[in-house]
Amino acid sequence: MPLERTDICTNTPRLIEHIRDNYDVSRPPTIVEPIQNSQDEYANQMAAGTLNEGRRLQIRFRVNVDERYAEIIDNAGGMSQEVMTDAVPEIDTTSAEKSEGGNVGSEGRGLFAVAASTEKLYIETLNTDGERLATILFPDDGTTLPEPVPPRDIADDPEEDVIQEAPQLRGPEGTLLKLVGLEQDALDTLSNWGEVERVLAELFTPLFSRDDVEFVYIVEEDGDVERYTPDFPSLNELMGEELERIDEHPFSIGGDEYILKDVVFGRAAGEYPWDGIAFFK
């Protein structure tokens, strides 16, 4: 029988304000949010000891222009049953880790911002408990599945064509996002490596300068396959003075209290891709 849907939990006025103020065309959420989520999850899982000490973070984008979809896969350890059930379908919520400074960002809007450029967003995860879970966000009518299900349930649904085979994510532990029915603007951006590389340089140079991170970007169009990887300088090349570390620093914004934890900072040495004080989570 067809899968049921339920409303996505959201505070609509705050969501609209956030998208208007933060998700501008220069920082497309379809690029930024998946990478940030992968980085956060990898850092948390490594800190918790749930991943092998030598695991390198791997992130792969695959954009199919002709079929108007993109797949984003990481090996960051996957999402727990609790996160898939409680956090993924809700907007303007936050995990305890984010509230306590364990992650960058604390608004719980990232996946919805990604879904907003699609007809539907398929999410599949294989977590460190061995659970395979999947769900779908439908931005047009603001619905999702009542709870995460095995990927096979979605593949077998006669009225849902987001995937035909299951599982999509073979392993190791991580998460797959499938952006189906991309809007033209989002598709144009994702299929333009020059624009993607600009965004990566502005926001993720420190991440991709690390030797324990691997990033691959693939664009498929008219039978042609192009493969790209960013080539950024190391942190030592970027920074003009010795890096310093902040273990914990409480601060407040607009009456809300936050804690900045485990952050390295220094002054950038030149204009590639920015200059001034830089903070690295």
What is the radius of gyration, based on Cα positions, of the chain? 19
Instruction: Choose among 121, 118, 97: nearest CA to 108.
Output: 97
- In sign, the C-alpha dihedral spanning 63, 66, 69, 71 is negative
Residue 94 has a pLDDT of 52
Say what the pLDDT of residue 261 is.
Answer: 78
Contact 123, 88 (CB under 8 A): yes
Give CA–CA dist 40/231, Å, rounded.
22
DSSP sequence for the chain: -PPP-EEPB--HHHHHHHHHHH--TTS-HHHHHHHHHHHHHHHHHHHHT-S-TTPPEEEEEEEETTTTEEEEEE-S----HHIIIIITTBSS---HHHHTTSSS--SS-HHHHHHTTSSEEEEEEE-TTS-EEEEEEETTTTEE-SS-B-HHHHHT-TT--S-SSS-S--SSSEEEEEEES--HHHHHHHT-HHHHHHHHHHHHHHHHTSTTEEEEEEEEETTEEEEE------HHHHBSS--EEEEEEEEEETTEEEEEEEEEEEEE-SSSS--EEEEE-
Q: Which two tokens stand for residue 131?
A: 């659970």
Q: 172 is written with which tokens?
A: 């190791």
pLDDT at residue 236, as a whole number: 65
User: How far is the C-alpha of 57 from the C-alpha of 231, rounded, in Å?
Assistant: 16
Per-residue pLDDT in tens (0 to 9) along the chain, 281 residues: 678 888 766 554 455 445 545 555 678 999 999 999 999 999 999 999 999 999 999 999 999 999 999 999 999 999 999 989 887 776 655 555 544 444 444 345 678 889 889 999 999 999 999 999 999 999 888 888 999 999 999 999 999 999 999 999 988 999 999 999 999 999 999 999 999 998 998 888 878 878 899 999 999 999 999 999 988 776 666 665 556 777 888 888 888 888 877 776 666 555 555 555 555 55
| pLDDT at site 38 | 95
Main-chain phi, psi angles of 109, to 5 degrees: -115, -5
How many Å apart are CA 276 and CA 263, to the nearest integer?
Answer: 16
Tokens of 41: 């999850």
pLDDT of residue 93: 52
Half-sphere exposure of 167 (CA within 13 A, CB side): 22
Cis omega before residue 172 (within 30°)? Answer: yes
